[in-house]
Structure 1
Amino acid sequence: MSSQYEAVPTETVYVIEENSDKAVNSQVAKNNGPIFGKRHQQVLMHGSLLFLTACIRSSMSIGIVAMNDPTASINPDITTFEWKNKGAILSCFFWGSILPELGSGWLANRYGPKWFLVGSSIVCAILDLLLPTAAYSFGSEGVMVCRVLQGFAQGIIPASLHGLLGKWVPPHERSGLGTLAAGGATIGAVVITFTSGYLAASWYGWPMIFYLNGGLGFLWSIIFTYMGSNTPAEHSSITHAEQFYIENSLPLEDKSKRLSTPWLKIFTSGSFLALLLAHCGYNWGLHILMADIPSYFKNVMKLDIKSNGALSTLPHIVKWIMSFLFSVISDMLISKSICSIGTTRKVMHTIGSLAPCLLLIILGNSGPEDASKAVVLLIVTFGFLSANISGFLFNHLDLSPNHAAVLMGITSQFGSFCTAIGLTSVQYIVVNEDDPNQWGIVFYLTSGIFIVSTVIFCFLGSGEVQPWNDERVRNKSPKKEEDT
């Protein structure tokens, strides 16, 4: 590994000098680089990776339906199965992602995330290409192994991208560009859900869903190898003006000081624990809806595979559009000093969690005769869920700029665990997939989890930088600092 990725003993600590900020801000305002610069290019690469990860993660939602439906494809020779453990298959991805997420932020800070992201994409692409063969040869167990390994490979991505955004995006652009990058995941879910229905119904059948993902994974890896960079300083073709603009909009870096991750103080921080619960509640609700909507539409609403794929995309489209509206509102509340950062996060999280609760309760009382109403309710539910992007999702950066990647790794790990538990529990709650009452239990349970996590976040959450952000400072070389 090249010298620029050599390990350092601890993380870099950032300090802010009040007097220098005014001079820096006035100079930055005069020269902010090109309108579309390398920071935008990096954000688009980040968004395209989230697009790809969403395609891989969400492809099984439609895929599992087609793999167990002999009438899905016009090709009678496409192999199908009669698996009863569909809930376990859907949850395997999230079980696999639990282990690497905790340490991924630390690894990204220490070595730089670029090559971890490239490696993750390549591994996922290979596994997608192998998945149909694994299904033919080893049945559902082969598919589950592939999904666990894909989840493990993708486990490093959330924290790594969070750290990259912290290096590339100025604070006042964070909500807008961060929402743009996060929108890649929503677009990915839209595209793969829509195309999966048609691919599964085509002559090539359900295997083509996974072959498509594999090809996209290799393509992204090649592009990011040449275009990606850990920091503006490492980028080979960034202009001096844009590099100055980015680096001087961020807190000044004191390279003579280092700090270790204050694990104990993080896990005993009420504000962080509230953020952790908010992330867990959101993951439970979002991924249960994303993974099980196609099965719900097929078995309760009696929709065919093409209609299923098309209608399942509508909630994601609305979620993506509404995320920009909530982002603008959030930035306005903060920039005009109408609300503090912490209050804005709580307002957005409340909108994004409690409104879906009411809609899910209504959805739980819907039957096959209410197919149109069910589709509308799910669309509106996903629209409100998008408020969480401007709610808790950037709260890691609010609490601790120095440890944001580590915090994201922790909350992502626990969020994946809750997702895996939730998807597995659906298999035992919904024994008869044609029974709307059993699906109603899933929707009621999800509503309850939304309510509990939101109340705790509103009482204990914060938008202030925590005291442990700058603690446990070590001098890299005390003698050298003394001489200086």
Structure 2
Amino acid sequence: MTEKEYTKIPTKELEHDPEPNPVLPKYGYGVRHLQAFLAFLTLAFAYLARAHLGVTIVAMTNEIENNTLYNHTEPTIQAVLNNTEVNLESSEWNIYRTYRWPKSTQEIALSSFFMGYFIMTFLSGIICQKWGGKIPLQIAMLVNGVVSILSPWAIAWGDWKALAACRVIQGLSQGGMLPGIHTLLANWVPLSERGSLSSYVYTGSGFGTVIGFQFSGLLAYSRFGWPSTFWAVGLLCLFGFTLFSIFGSATPGDHKTISEEEKNYIIGRSGEGTQTQPSVPWKTILTSKHVLANFVSHIGNVLCFTFYFMQVPTYMFAILKVNIRNSGLLSSLPYIFFMMMSMLSGNISDALINKKVMTTKSVRRLANTIASTIPAISLCLVSYTENVNLALMCFVIALGAQAVMHSGWIRPAREALMDERVNYIDLSPNYSGVLMAVGNGLANLAVLVLPVMVSNIVTDVTNQVQWRITLFIMAGITLLTNIVFVIFISTDVQPWNEVKHEAEDATQKS
């Protein structure tokens, strides 16, 4: 069987086939599982590089608790005039020193990543559409690794502006991460396995955040100081780059050692319709109310998710009085529950849909409402307590509920819980990578507004009333975006998904 013969298997027949070919699911573990594991690792390392600064910056700007290799002493003017030797290891040039950055400056540093991320997301969708997902993942790992390792020296030289520049570069390189993962799984995972494998792969985001929060707190409080968090992140990203370069592949057809049996199994049941990439119908996509509703929901949920790992460590330190070491540990606990719920919710959704308890559209509406309403209530409640245990329980419940949405990033309609990113595949299997890139880009553009809002409202990080206003605003955003999505959701493949292919078929027949 040739590659062209694989591409002729129609998407719609697969979607309406209640019972897939019973012979195909018998194929066991293979190269596709290795690719899924590599995707999990790269996503974890990417989120590790993205999230660790939320804890690290607390240590960078906290002189009292930052226990470093050297004591920080400023060289005095008198010492310079007297030509007294100044030890650079204990001077302002010391990479281990702390900084007196106001909250507004810290927010600029934290949000700089998303500025670069937004710039590259649209272009990355086109890159993935044409060349697959491997190259964007390699670029992300390599650039993040090198920049992370060099960051402490850059910051010592250029202060917060250098940190912001480093984060912009890292954001630029990570712009292709999620579209790349999305494209890889679409190419590598058969329809019958996409529910489980995609759940495990996308728990990498939660896993990376957990590790980032935990070891950032521990390393920043150790004798090696906060720079060690940048070095550890850099080494792990370079490790991910090496692994993916050696063992990763964009498609089954590009892999050198995959068996013909597994290749046929993957391509024959991919459900993506074609491997020939058509031109993108931009006007139709950007005027579709179903697509726009997905974008709105995507924005709301990325804002909420980003708020957690950017602001919760500071909230725990300033309001709940948790020290830096424990702040990282406690801030990571909600993400542990997030990972557990991601995998559990996938199984629940499969049962609800496969046993016909609920329709696909109903399951999606229900799950999106759960993933929006419960976090909104939890955010409101946490703003009224200074009890660490109660606040932590609220954060755990909030992220656990939101995992119902994040669990199904790439699963098809009949296998997934409601998630606007899953719905991209429902609407258009052929353009799902592009839809993901555009939605992700718009969401991360909105993220740039988040630090501006927080820094203008929270002028005193120890003022709980100011934090309460911010938390209520975030709750309102997630509720409103859910309403828009629930009203305009569709799980039907859109007509523009197949327009190009129908034209090609007509040409071939003539």
Same fold (TM over 0.5): yes
How far 1:326 sits from its partner (Å)? 1.1
**CA separation of 1:471 and 1:74: change in aligned 2, threshold 3 A:** same
Structure 2: which amino acid aligns with 1:68? T
Q: Please, which of 87, 90, 115 is the counterpart of residue 110 of structure 2? A: 90
SS at match of 1:259: coil
Query: TM-score by structure 2 length?
Result: 0.87
The C-alpha deviation readout for 1:99-145, integer Å capped at 9, x for no partner, is 11112122112122212321221111111011111110000000000
Partner of 1:436: 464
Does the CA-based 8 Å contact 2:361-2:489 persist in structure 1? yes
How far 1:423 sits from its partner (Å)? 2.5
How far 1:33 sits from its partner (Å)? 6.2
Does the CA-based 8 Å contact 1:260-1:473 persist in structure 2? no
Q: Please, which of 154, 158, 162 is the counterpart of residue 174 of structure 2? A: 154
The C-alpha deviation readout for 1:329-357, integer Å capped at 9, x for no partner, is 11112212222222222211111111111
How far 1:22 sits from its partner (Å)? 6.8
Structure 1: which amino acid aligns with 2:363? T
Does the CA-based 8 Å contact 1:95-1:420 persist in structure 2? yes
Rounded Cα–Cα distance in structure 2 between residues aligned with 1:478 and 1:283: 42
How far 1:322 sits from its partner (Å)? 1.1
Does the CA-based 8 Å contact 1:194-1:309 persist in structure 2? yes
The alignment yields a C-alpha RMSD, in angstroms, of: 2.3
Q: Please, which of 44, 49, 66 is the counterpart of residue 37 of structure 2? A: 44
Query: TM-score by structure 1 length?
Result: 0.91
Q: Please, which of 350, 371, 391 is the counterpart of residue 418 of structure 2? A: 391
Rounded Cα–Cα distance in structure 1 between residues aligned with 2:370 and 2:300: 14
Residue 59 of structure 2 corresponds to residue 59 of structure 1: no
**Per chain length, whose mean CA-contact separation is higher, i.e. which structure has more relative contact order (CA < 8 Å, sep 6+)?**
1
Partner of 1:8: none
How far 1:20 sits from its partner (Å)? 12
How far 1:222 sits from its partner (Å)? 1.0
Q: Matches of residues 265-284 of structure 1 in structure 2 within 5 Å?
A: 265-284=284-303
Residue 346 of structure 2 corresponds to residue 327 of structure 1: yes
Give identity over the alignment, percent: 28
Q: Please, which of 370, 395, 414 is the counterpart of residue 378 of structure 1? A: 395
Residue 472 of structure 2 corresponds to residue 455 of structure 1: no
Rounded Cα–Cα distance in structure 2 between residues aligned with 1:88 and 1:126: 22
Rounded Cα–Cα distance in structure 1 between residues aligned with 2:379 and 2:492: 33
In structure 2, stretches of 5+ residues that fail to align are 1-6, 72-95, 407-416
In structure 1, stretches of 5+ residues that fail to align are 1-11
Residue 358 of structure 2 corresponds to residue 339 of structure 1: yes
How far 1:448 sits from its partner (Å)? 0.4
Rounded Cα–Cα distance in structure 2 between residues aligned with 1:197 and 1:415: 28
Q: Matches of residues 351-366 of structure 1 in structure 2 within 5 Å?
A: 351-366=370-385
Rounded Cα–Cα distance in structure 2 between residues aligned with 1:19 and 1:88: 48
Partner of 2:331: 312
The C-alpha deviation readout for 1:31-57, integer Å capped at 9, x for no partner, is 446532111111111111110011000
How far 1:467 sits from its partner (Å)? 1.4
Bigger Rg, which one = 2
Partner of 2:91: none
Rounded Cα–Cα distance in structure 1 between residues aligned with 2:442 and 2:343: 27
Does the CA-based 8 Å contact 1:62-1:294 persist in structure 2? yes
SS at match of 2:448: helix
The C-alpha deviation readout for 1:149-206, integer Å capped at 9, x for no partner, is 1001100111111111111112232221111000011011001101111100111100
Rounded Cα–Cα distance in structure 2 between residues aligned with 1:268 and 1:252: 23
Partner of 2:270: 250
Q: Please, which of 140, 144, 163 is the counterpart of residue 183 of structure 2? A: 163
Structure 1: which amino acid aligns with 2:388? A
How far 1:147 sits from its partner (Å)? 0.3
